[in-house]
Amino acid sequence: MEEIIVEKEENVVSAYELAKQRYDEIGVDTEKVMNDLEKVKLSIHCWQGDDIHGFLFPNQELTGGIGVSGNYPGLATTPDELSSDLSEALSLIPGNHKVQLHAIYAVTDKKKDLDELEPEDFKYWVDWAKKEGVGLDMNGTFFSHPMLKDGFTLASPDKDVRDFWIEHGKRSRKIAEYFGKELGQQSVNNFWVPDGYKDNPVDKLSPRLRLIDSLDEIIKEPMDEKNTIEAFEGKLFGTGVESYTVGSHEFYDNYALTRNKLWTIDAGHFHPTEDVSDKFSAFTPFGKGLMLHVSRPVRWDSDHVVIFDDALVRITRSLVRDNLLSKTNIGLDFFDATINRISAWVVGARATQKALLQSMLAPIDDLKKAEEQGDYTTRLAVTEELKSYPFGAVWDEFCRRNNVPVGEDWLDNIHTYEKDVLFKR
């Protein structure tokens, strides 16, 4: 057994040496690329681990137009289970990352509603994050709650409803600020509200004006961006709100721009023929930056596990080629309960890193030059050839150097963890 492992490691190293030479021939420095990749943090969403139940109201039905299907065994139902599953996933993903929480993941003995949460209700997660060496991002939870009335929260015509959610939004900011202070890195606080109408509205303006007022109230108190910044996530439609979404893309694009905040682009929230990667360079010359929810829509906003597909590579290529990594927070957002939930995290995160790596392994300046000179033949020919360059060998070496399993070896860890932990729950 030991011999096989040593031989495999030698194979990984020698395949890498050959790949390094191939890339060197076209002026691509694989060592530099691996260094660059190591610096890219993903923001891994905690809710893949428990099908978005959370700990505050675990028996509450999931509302707001999102849904999880499947009932694979081993669901995490306690903070210790979820954090241990996350730690297991992180041990199989190369590099150092962040984790996105939602307000419903507060850990408190007291009965607390969403408008009563305080930073100390997240101390559990801060302690865990310190131990794990990860950052924390935040999301207020504007769904799965009885105060989501007739499909509305912050844009509700009912002032009591709006006030409840405004208070929740303010509290989510305090929590994100606490994450930033405690962990010494900015915590992105993402806002997504499901507000909208199933059928054609008469008045499309008033709900949007109410949403602006509510959001302005939430962000009124200045906070140091070193600790936290807000991001706003729009959507084309949701189940139950097919005709009209208050927080549409144009709405949040303009809101983020005028308030100097981040705009969140979820890959599943657009018309299927739209290419989200086209939007990054249209926003960033004006706006502060982006948050992404990398997801895989299958025919609709289905939130399938992210895989290494064309849509993902188009996203990472745009970020890399247009030099947008420093302005972009790459979050994941998918939920699948038909497979091992930890493996879902690992597959999605590793696919995103692989796509980043393949995008980085390219003679980008030369290609830009060819394009500028009108040499579209070279552009097409080289970008096509690049697709079969040995980036997989560089990926394996990247994993080896980061002390995570190479190739599908990580599945062994998952199977052991299933046997020892998940299937005993």
Instruction: Give contact residues for ligand RNT (rule: CB under 6 A).
Output: 47, 52, 66, 139, 192, 233, 235, 266, 293, 333
Nearer to ligand RNT by Cβ, of 139 and 228: the residue is: 139
Burial (CB count within 10 angstroms: exposed 0-12, middle 13-18, buried 19+), residue 197: buried
- The whole-angstrom separation of Cα 88 and Cα 82 is 10
Nearer to ligand RNT by Cβ, of 280 and 335: the residue is: 335
Nearer to Zn ion by Cβ, of 83 and 295: the residue is: 295
391 within 8 A of 19, measured Cβ to Cβ: yes
- The whole-angstrom separation of Cα 245 and Cα 266 is 15
Nearer to ligand RNT by Cβ, of 139 and 318: the residue is: 139
279 within 8 A of 252, measured Cβ to Cβ: no
Nearer to Zn ion by Cβ, of 63 and 84: the residue is: 63
* Token code pair at residue 289: 């930056």
Residue 66: name its binding partner from ligand RNT, Zn ion, none (Cβ under 5 to 8 Å by kind): ligand RNT
Taking the complex as a whole, the smallest distance from the CB of residue 100 to ligand RNT amounts, in Å, to 8
Residue 47: name its binding partner from Zn ion, ligand RNT, none (Cβ under 5 to 8 Å by kind): ligand RNT
Taking the complex as a whole, the smallest distance from the CB of residue 231 to ligand RNT amounts, in Å, to 10
28 within 8 A of 362, measured Cβ to Cβ: yes
- The whole-angstrom separation of Cα 33 and Cα 285 is 25
Taking the complex as a whole, the smallest distance from the CB of residue 190 to Zn ion amounts, in Å, to 8
Taking the complex as a whole, the smallest distance from the CB of residue 55 to ligand RNT amounts, in Å, to 15
Residue 396: name its binding partner from Zn ion, ligand RNT, none (Cβ under 5 to 8 Å by kind): none
Taking the complex as a whole, the smallest distance from the CB of residue 120 to ligand RNT amounts, in Å, to 23
* Token code pair at residue 54: 């959370």
If you compute the radius of gyration of the chain from its CA atoms, what whole number of angstroms results?
22
Phi and psi at residue 417, to the nearest 5°:
-65, -35
Contact positions vs Zn ion (CB under 5 A): 266, 293, 333
Task: Give the Cβ contact number of residue 237 at 10 Å.
Answer: 18
For 167-233, the DSSP string reads HHHHHHHHHHHHHHHHHTS-EEEEE----EESS--S-SSHHHHHHHHHHHHHT-S---TTTEEEEEE
* Token code pair at residue 121: 């209700």
Question: So which residues are the catalytic ones?
Answer: 192, 233, 235, 266, 269, 293, 301, 303, 333
Residue 235: name its binding partner from ligand RNT, Zn ion, none (Cβ under 5 to 8 Å by kind): ligand RNT
Residue 52: name its binding partner from ligand RNT, Zn ion, none (Cβ under 5 to 8 Å by kind): ligand RNT
